[in-house]
Chains A and B, each alone.
Chain A
């Protein structure tokens, strides 16, 4: 259920915490396993992570559902997380989100039919001086305009 490579990555996180505190690695373990499973967590994978870290399944489930970065339904290969909080809103984020929805033909919260891109409205991503901005997977894109969004999205592979 958890690949050898994922176990190796998780072990590197476990090593950061005291020996009897393996469960401290759960947040990263879930992220690592999620990345290996089409950006998604199932009840089984969460249990597998819990077993690997010697913690109760429900404790891992709590973490997996409390934090925003875990996905419990299908998302795209590329997840666009568009900030719609105050600084981005003041700089036109709402119009740009509508522009992106139109361009992709999907609403926020949904995945394009080919499973390639999903869009999500998120709260402040901490890049307010570069507003409006969004995140695609690990990367931030700041000072967005409609043209810039088109260019970024068209170049996704």
Chain B
């Protein structure tokens, strides 16, 4: 437990440069400054580590970094996505608060590998405490001559800045995030071109999640194989899981990939008040909901969760006990996507409104039995028909809630009240 991003969690002033350096922090970056590491070596180690993008998509980080045209002329950028806002997800906030230097070092290493001399860390607008913590860490790093131009006469340049959001879930989508840094509405871009070719300010750009960047220094200092061995096949290393909902001790846990779900549940103190587990959303609100029976046999890794019928996403585990009304939960999620749809694509802009309004009338006691088919019809029309993944993210829960808990919806429509409690 706590092997990478949370390594220093229990130490005094875990966020300070002093604590970070005392535990080997910036040793990889200093090697780079001394010319002892090559970009190729770093990419090989990352590939060997099995690190996959921690923001939700799970794309192999080493491969992503190798896509950047590092030898092309002109400015290139590395961007960190700290626009955390998927319901259930709150791990990047803790990385920024408790280990900001790992993010800085990871981004600097990324800058070196991809020949990008400027980086931006996009922090969501509400995260003011993490923002100040990160800014303080940046100041420390500049003062220690770890960032800047011709750092320590190494001819390596890396300047790092924070960009603050202003309240928008969609800006966590990487191309919307780039638009946002450019001072525009967060409307996702068509792909291709991909950011590696045309990204921030039209220049080649690589965007990684906060946890991905923060994992890089530890991987390189202890070796890709070390990280891979912590996890299981196809899911290298350890990963932060945010366990929230009806558990005794909700918290973020950094555990090896492949940890059985039931062990993770135990770490979070088990079910609150001895209640019975009913349902689990394993990877954040956009991932399919699972029944207790399925969840209890699942392991927490990409393949394990996929086998159970869902996705690892950002590792945001939402636990629901038997007192939970699934109609109410789905209505709340539908409201979220309705609220956060950027409005660019018709299927999502209109469809999320339809989903929410149908569910709302159900909750208000005015549902009709044909509403279930209507919901499925609308979600099917959103799925796959939008520029970005928010459309799919809005549609996915609807399908999985209805598949796993359909009788609850039928009961609600029939009697105008919840099957679970009054």
Chain A contact residues, CB within 8 Å of chain B? 16-18, 21, 23-28, 30-31, 53, 55, 59, 62-63, 66-70, 81, 84-87, 89-91, 123-131, 135, 138-140
Contacts and interface: CB of A to CB of B under 8 A. Distances in A.
A67 B166 contact: yes
Given A86-B318, A89-B329, A138-B128, A128 B336 contact: no
Contacts of B336: 85, 123-124
B250 A128 contact: yes
A139 B131 CA distance: 12
Most buried by A among B126, B127, B251, B340: B126
Nearest to A125: B126
B331 to A, nearest CB: 10
B106 interface: no
B84 A69 contact: no
A63 B187 CA distance: 11
B169 A126 contact: no
A59 B184 contact: yes
Contacts of A124: 85-89, 169, 285, 336
B90 A84 contact: no
B90 A126 contact: yes
A67 B125 contact: yes
Nearest to A18: B201
B189 interface: no
B233 interface: no
A10 B380 CA distance: 45
Contacts of B128: 138-139
B183 A24 contact: yes
Contacts of B372: none
A90 B125 CA distance: 25
Given A55-B183, A124-B86, A129-B242, A68 B166 contact: yes
B90 A27 contact: no
Contacts of A66: 168, 185-186, 342
B182 interface: yes
Interface stretch (B6-14, B18-26, B157-165, B254-262): B157-165
Contacts of B244: 87, 90, 128-129, 131
A131 B182 CA distance: 33
A128 B242 contact: yes
A55 B182 CA distance: 12
A18 B85 CA distance: 28
A89 B336 CA distance: 12
Nearest to B181: A24
B181 to A, nearest CB: 6
B104 interface: no
A85 B338 CA distance: 13
Most buried by B among A25, A86, A130: A86
Nearest to A86: B87
B243 interface: yes
B385 to A, nearest CB: 22
A33 to B, nearest CB: 13
Nearest to B82: A126
A127 B184 contact: no
Contacts of A25: 183
A27 B179 CA distance: 12
Contacts of B124: 126
Nearest to A23: B183
Interface string B70-92: 00000100000000111111101
B164 A28 contact: yes
Contacts of A84: 332
B333 interface: yes
Interface in B314-329: 316, 318, 320, 324, 328-329
B252 interface: yes
Contacts of B181: 24
Contacts of A86: 87-88, 245, 281, 285, 318, 329, 332-333
A24 B182 contact: yes
